[in-house]
Amino acid sequence: MSWMGKRDNHMRSPINKLVEHYSRIEKQFKLNKNNKSYANLVTSNGDQQFPIQRWFHLKEAFSLELLETLITDWDIPIESINRIIDPFCGVGTSLLAAQKLARKHHLNDLEAIGIERNPFLQFAGETKLQWHHYNPTKLLSQASCLLKNNKKVSQNIPPLSTLHRKDVYDPDVLNRALTIREAIKSISLPEQAPLLLGFASVLEAISGVRKDGRALRINPKKQRMDLQVSLSNAWNNIIYDISLAPQYFSPDQANSFLGDGRTMTLECSKFHLQKDFDLIFYSPPYLNNIDYTEVYKIELWMCGFIETPEEFRDLRHKTFRSHPSVRFTDPVTITENDALHDVLTLLDAIIEALPRDHYLKTRARFFMEYFDDMYISLKKQLDVLVPGGWIFCIVGNSLHGPRDDHAKRVPVASDLIIALIARSLGFDVKAIQIARYLTRRSVHSEYLRESILIMRKQ
């Protein structure tokens, strides 16, 4: 290297060096940039009116169409896919997509399994997948009884401070809502489940808060919807969708379980998870500080999935280490594997690029924990896939550092890091399909994007 070269190297900022590092790594993979149709498919935008899927809106969900598009674009014979697993299945989009695929292609043997850590989200997914078990006539009369119930009974408000704020819930509305929830709980299964999900789906609309990325924001100007009207609409939609569903979905064949997707351990001891999956299709939590326990806390507490502060804290501790809401205690194991040298060098370059402020240690630990969880998850995925089996992993990159100083914000290219981890574990990384570029507070970076990793077990 010339003297000038050395000086240039010396003057380059750690962020510039990091971006060059990304560019070198990126050249080692096949990058697909041109297919614009994926931009909409990695979001839930188009699905808000789709029968069953609309029963509960999860902003972070992907589209119902994504599964079939990927299978088609990668020329995977549809009949070769018999078992699918989504280890971070949220509200069960991938599993409902599997029911849709089974209906369209007459795949009677297709089986899809999901794992979700958040008990409310798992309940939402499983309730949707069981659409064929609900009797619409019964539901109609139960919903109308619930709406007519005007009894004034004073309810115990769950011990979540948010629920005790008048700018979140009007006390009278909250009391009526809790009275209806008690009445729903006295209805027998299976119809209790869709009624409770309909109830959960209106909790934000009747409140003074809005889900905003990683937080619940109180908005004093927000127009709160009427409880009875919102419930009536939600339940009517559910009843209507049950009659439409057979046109779109095949019954059975898909289930969502409560458990840990990283290690694929299920909480239900009666169900034994067999290996031999042909496809793992998922979107893990992103490295963007979203703590799903926090964002869905109103639904968790109001529906009775969480009853004590201890249960709430315990749930946070069991989640993917993608947020700094709690101090996780599990050790980081990724550093122990020599085969991951490239990954660790890249992680070092990211940490090197971080501003030397008092958040440095926390951020460095947070990144290591996140990619450790990806490493643990990919190891398990390798274990449960058949040889030649596929992975479609949808992931978003993120930006870290002081919000008021754009020049110091560090892009973390999770797609490249996950691709490197997967390759080190022996996966054949077929491509990184860039779905869309993201903009954060007017910061543009070619590494700020949402991608789909397409990988195969060799």
Binding footprint of ligand SAM on the chain (CB under 6 A): 58, 60-62, 88-91, 93-94, 115-118, 121, 260-262, 283, 285, 292, 319-320
CB nearer to ligand SAM: pick between 18 and 41: 41
Our CB check for ligand SAM shows the closer of 179 and 433 to be 433
Least distance in angstroms from the C-beta of 31 to ligand SAM: 22
Nearer residue to ligand SAM within complex by CB, 89 or 416: 89
CB of 115 to ligand SAM, least distance (A): 5
Q: In angstroms, what is the minimal distance from the CB of 323 to ligand SAM? A: 9
Supply the minimum distance, in Å, between the C-beta of residue 395 and ligand SAM: 9
Closest to ligand SAM by CB, 48 or 108: 48
Residue among 142 and 433 whose Cβ is closer to ligand SAM: 433
Task: Return the number of the residue (177 or 412) whose C-beta is nearest ligand SAM.
Answer: 412
- Distance in Å, CB of 30 to ligand SAM, minimum: 24
> Quick one: 191 or 415, whose CB is closer to ligand SAM?
415
Least CB distance to ligand SAM at residue 435 (A) = 14
Question: What are the CB-based long-range contacts (under 8 Å, 24+) for 131-135?
Answer: 131/52, 131/194, 131/241, 131/242, 131/245, 131/249, 131/251, 132/242, 132/245, 132/246, 132/251, 132/252, 133/190, 134/190, 134/191, 134/193, 134/194, 134/238, 134/242, 135/191
Closer to ligand SAM by CB, 7 or 275: give it.
275
> Taking a C-beta distance cutoff of 8 angstroms, is the pair 9, 1 a contact?
yes
Find the shortest distance in angstroms from Cβ 280 to ligand SAM. 12
Residue nearest to ligand SAM (CB): 90
Smallest distance from ligand SAM to CB 94, Å: 6
